[in-house]
Amino acid sequence: MPTDLVRWRPLASASLALRSPWSPLLQMVYARANEEILQMPPAPGPLSGFRIVDLTSMISGPMATVLLGDQGADVIKVESPGAGDLVRRLGHPRDGITATFATANRNKRSIVLDLKRDEDRHAFRKLVETADVVVQNFRPGVVERMGIAEDDLRPLKPDLIYVSISGFGESGPYAGKRVYDPIVQALSGLATIQGDRGAGRPRMMRLIVPDKVTALTAAQAITAALLARERTGEGQHVRLSMIDAMIALAWPEGFAAHTFVRDDQYTPRNVLAQDLVYETADGWMTAGAVSDSEWQGLARALGHPEWLDDERFRTPGGRVAYAKERLDQTAEVLKTRTTAEWLERLDAEEVPCAPILPLDEVFRHPQIVENGLIFESDHPVAGRIRQPRAAARFDRTPTTLDRPAPTLGEHTEEILREIGIERKAP
């Protein structure tokens, strides 16, 4: 297990290993990890020293700022009195901590401020004076009415990075609409791309992809803006919308038929894109053969070398044009043996393949265990929880879990003292 993972401690427990079909391997890995876990001295994350004031709620904003928090930034989550972020209540909360909230808001501190009150607005402005970044995802026009728009805060911190995340942008017919992830899936074409083959029923992704794509885009944009500020000394306003982030992500292959302007091909993406889910004698798997060598290997592994003489499948273009025929015959053959048997044959021919795992087997798979991706920790109010570490690994400035997701207003008095205000939290 790579030693740059051990700051996410404690790692997944040995009890998990004992429940796994790969128990001997897992126990060996955990034993090795336990030997290494105390050998790494503490080190600041790559964004240590930067302060992020986070006004966002739900997913698109909090998932952006949790990436920054994992990388060492001091993220201060500003929440309203009473309920705070709605995600605290979406699910089965344990004292205001749901599973989604725990993962999307770790490595943050929570302060409760009622920005309708003069006293709390004053505290917020004092907080902004200490910040490098302010992030908000209110609907367009709300921050202006609240007096916390970029123009209001720029005089307090001239080099501030101010980030506005919206559903559809600042203007246009949809700018003022309420938005959740499925609305963006519908408008961006994602539901059409995911739909049944041909002109069938559109389908939604079951993961909230537009929210998360927006979060990744925002986190990258924030770090780019901070880098630009290091070089120029100037802050700026970064604007992004969920619809822009989603269409930009989907475009390379999802809108390939519309990229060459004078050569639009009105073949729906869901006709060309196959799901590559294959039934086997004992379960499900996937395999993909794109290059000529992979196609040849697949034909040999499946025991059908005569497929290589089929003119329809001789070239990558032909295999796309006749995808349905190629995949249908592949599917019929794969039903005849177990997943493990096919994986062994396909691996021997270097054909990309994998079992389709149930969720409770994903984090027990030997590769996931070896990567040290999943760790367990004790939350002070939610109990024992399991989460993935930050995906990016830094060998000099490692990421870490410094703070579990906060309870509502947990750090209010602490943060107020830091900005020179001595009073009890509301």
Q: What is the C-alpha to C-alpha distance for residues 207 and 181, in angstroms, rounded to an integer? A: 9
Q: Please identify which residue in the block is written with the tokens 């336990």.
A: 34
pLDDT in tens, 253-279: 999 888 998 776 655 555 555 789 999
- Predicted local distance difference test score (pLDDT) of residue 265: 63
| DSSP helix/strand/coil, 65 | helix
pLDDT in tens, 292-312: 999 999 999 999 999 999 999
- Predicted local distance difference test score (pLDDT) of residue 312: 97
Higher pLDDT, 270 or 43: 43
Q: What is the pTM of this model?
A: 0.89
Bin 237: left if φ > 0, else alpha if -120 < ψ < 50, else beta.
beta
Whole-number percent of the chain with pLDDT over 90 = 81
Catalytic residue set: 211
Under the banding of pLDDT at 50, 70 and 90, the label for residue 341 is very high
Average pLDDT of the chain, as a whole number: 90
Domains and CATH numbers, the chain: 51-251+390-418 (3.40.50.10540), 278-355 (3.30.1540.10)
- Predicted local distance difference test score (pLDDT) of residue 39: 47
CB 56 within 8 A of CB 165: yes
